[in-house]
Amino acid sequence: MIWGIFVLLTLVAIGIVLYPLLLSKSNTLTRGDAVPAILADQMREIQRDMDRGLISEQEAQAARLEIKKRILATTRNSEEKAGSSRNGGRVTLVVAAVLAPVIAAGYYLTMGSPEVPSMAFAARAEERAQTDEVTALAIQLRERLVSDPTGGPSEGWMLLGQTYQRMGRTVDAVEAFEVVAKREDATSATFSMLAEAVAVANDGVVIPRAKLAIDRALELDPSNPAATYFESLYHLQKEETRKAYDLLVSRLNQEKTFVPWMETYVLQINRIAAAADLPVVNLPSGPTSPPGPSAADVATASEMNDADRAEFIRSMVSRLAERLEDEPDDLDGWMRLANAYTVLEEPDRAVEAYRKAEALLEQQPASDPRRAAVRAALERLGG
């Protein structure tokens, strides 16, 4: 039925376009019709002037000859242009009227038909299934929290907020975090996550609403690295570059050994340093610091082509893996290796590295945030 309607509408459209072309004559007045009439009137005017004695017979003959030449030339040019215009215009319109629906139908059948799945869309079937599952779980979790007479546990709301954050639903994430932020058991991490969600929801801008959350997070825990980072971003947006730089460097120097958030700090510090001509920094060295690229390594990698750079990165990952064989108790090293394998799209090796980190985390406090990070990574990788 639908296809019948489409065909009927297409035929009507083609008919509307072709109908004027099928008419053999046109009532439109052209220059070829008007000019000869004017010149003919001039011929009669010459005869009247000669009858009144205004011009001689010889002058009249010369004027008549000139007008006849102009009549012939005008008629010939008009016929040629009209023929060319009719033929060219008619051919163009006919071709357009026929080809337009044919091309449109072909493109639709190839790219837009619901019965023909897009290859890129089909290739993401597993990803879509996972997204649908996460969405369904988020809906169930929210319904359970909302229907809870006690308002739902804070841990549940925080998990819901983080889930929304990963899904890109930042407004919903803000609402979930704010539920916990209003409670007495809200921690510094609660407010730093709220600040991040508000900033992301506003295109990365630390608006006053986010600044209030940052201040509360630092009040509860002055060493909160996430809150310090967004505090620095706030000053950077106010063009207080040096203050933003010093804030990050000061917090970085408080740590003696490597922790994962340092990588983000170092990148941001050196980004600010490059723009403001300030000293660059490197990751701190220490017994638990995983071997990473030095400033010289980064400089070397930037001069390589894509193939050489990829090989260079893999060599650094291999060095880290070899070191961990000798130092199997390096928890942060295993997490760094797992992350590197994830970036290199080697999920099996990433899962294996996360499993090593998970085993080491059994010796850490239950509140260690790396536990949640490892669990989330393993779920994402299907491990």
Q: For the CA atoms of the chain, what is the radius of gyration?
A: 39
Q: Which residues contact 69 (CB under 8 A, 6 or more apart)?
A: none
The verdict on residue 93 lying in a domain is yes
Evaluate if residue 238 carries a pLDDT over 60.
yes
Dist. CA 200–CA 210, nearest whole Å: 10
User: Domain end: 112, 147, 177, which one?
Assistant: 112
The pLDDT value recorded for residue 255 is: 83
- Band (pLDDT 50/70/90 cuts) for residue 287 is very low
99 and 165 assigned to the same domain: no
Q: Mind listing the pLDDT tens digit for each residue in 361-374?
A: 888 777 666 777 78
The verdict on residue 351 lying in a domain is yes
- Structural domain of residue 31, as residue ranges? 2-112
The pLDDT value recorded for residue 177 is: 95
Of the two residues 96 and 138, the one the predictor is more confident about is 138
Question: What SS3 string covers 175-189?
Answer: HHHHHHHCCCCCCHH
108 and 7 assigned to the same domain: yes
Of the two residues 291 and 92, the one the predictor is more confident about is 92
Question: To the nearest 10°, the Cα dihedral for 11, 14, 16, 19?
Answer: -110
Over range 13-38, report the average pLDDT: 61
The verdict on residue 216 lying in a domain is yes
The pLDDT value recorded for residue 288 is: 41
Dist. CA 108–CA 150, nearest whole Å: 54
156 and 189 assigned to the same domain: yes
Residue type at position 335:
M
Of the two residues 343 and 151, the one the predictor is more confident about is 151
Q: Mind listing the pLDDT tens digit for each residue in 199-210?
A: 999 988 999 999
Note whether 21 and 93 are within 8 A (CB): yes
9 and 85 assigned to the same domain: yes
The verdict on residue 122 lying in a domain is no
Highest mean pLDDT among 98-107, 223-232, 297-306, 349-358: 223-232
Q: b/e for 49-84, b at 16 or more Cβ within 10 A?
A: ebeeeeeeeeebeebeeebeeebeebeeebeeeeee
Highest mean pLDDT among 40-44, 63-67, 262-266: 262-266
- Band (pLDDT 50/70/90 cuts) for residue 295 is very low
- Band (pLDDT 50/70/90 cuts) for residue 14 is confident
Of the two residues 293 and 160, the one the predictor is more confident about is 160
Dist. CA 223–CA 251, nearest whole Å: 7
> Can you point out the beta strands (E) in the chain?
none
The verdict on residue 183 lying in a domain is yes
Question: To the nearest 10°, the Cα dihedral for 331, 337, 340, 344?
Answer: -140
Candidate from 87-96, 130-139, 205-214, 240-249 with smallest mean pLDDT: 87-96
The pLDDT value recorded for residue 290 is: 44
20 and 69 assigned to the same domain: yes
Phi (first) and psi of residue 180, to 5 degrees: -75, -35
304 and 364 assigned to the same domain: yes
Residue 320 token pair: 């880290």
Highest mean pLDDT among 62-71, 88-97, 173-182, 311-320: 173-182
The pLDDT value recorded for residue 53 is: 74
6 and 108 assigned to the same domain: yes
Dist. CA 265–CA 362, nearest whole Å: 28
Note whether 333 and 288 are within 8 A (CB): yes
Sign of CA dihedral 251, 253, 258, 264: positive
The verdict on residue 261 lying in a domain is no
The pLDDT value recorded for residue 108 is: 62
Evaluate if residue 160 carries a pLDDT over 80.
yes
51 and 87 assigned to the same domain: yes
User: Domain end: 77, 112, 147, which one?
Assistant: 112
- Band (pLDDT 50/70/90 cuts) for residue 97 is low
Dist. CA 159–CA 176, nearest whole Å: 9
Average pLDDT, the chain: 77
User: Domain end: 201, 222, 238, which one?
Assistant: 238
Reference 330, options 371, 361, 372; nearest CA is 361
21 and 81 assigned to the same domain: yes
187 and 91 assigned to the same domain: no
The pLDDT value recorded for residue 248 is: 93
The verdict on residue 282 lying in a domain is no
The pLDDT value recorded for residue 291 is: 44
Evaluate if residue 212 carries a pLDDT over 90.
yes
The pLDDT value recorded for residue 294 is: 47
100 and 143 assigned to the same domain: no
302 and 226 assigned to the same domain: no
What's the chain's length in residues? 383
The verdict on residue 306 lying in a domain is yes
Ramachandran category for residue 152: left, alpha or beta (phi over 0 → left; psi -120 to 50 → alpha): left
pTM over 0.85: no
Dist. CA 294–CA 270, nearest whole Å: 13
Of the two residues 206 and 44, the one the predictor is more confident about is 206
Residue 5 token pair: 């309607």
Residue 228 token pair: 């310090």
- Domain holding 199: CATH number? 1.25.40.10
Number of compact structural domains in the chain: 3
Q: Above pLDDT 90, what percent of the chain? A: 23
Over range 306-313, report the average pLDDT: 62
Of the two residues 335 and 193, the one the predictor is more confident about is 193
Over range 295-321, report the average pLDDT: 62
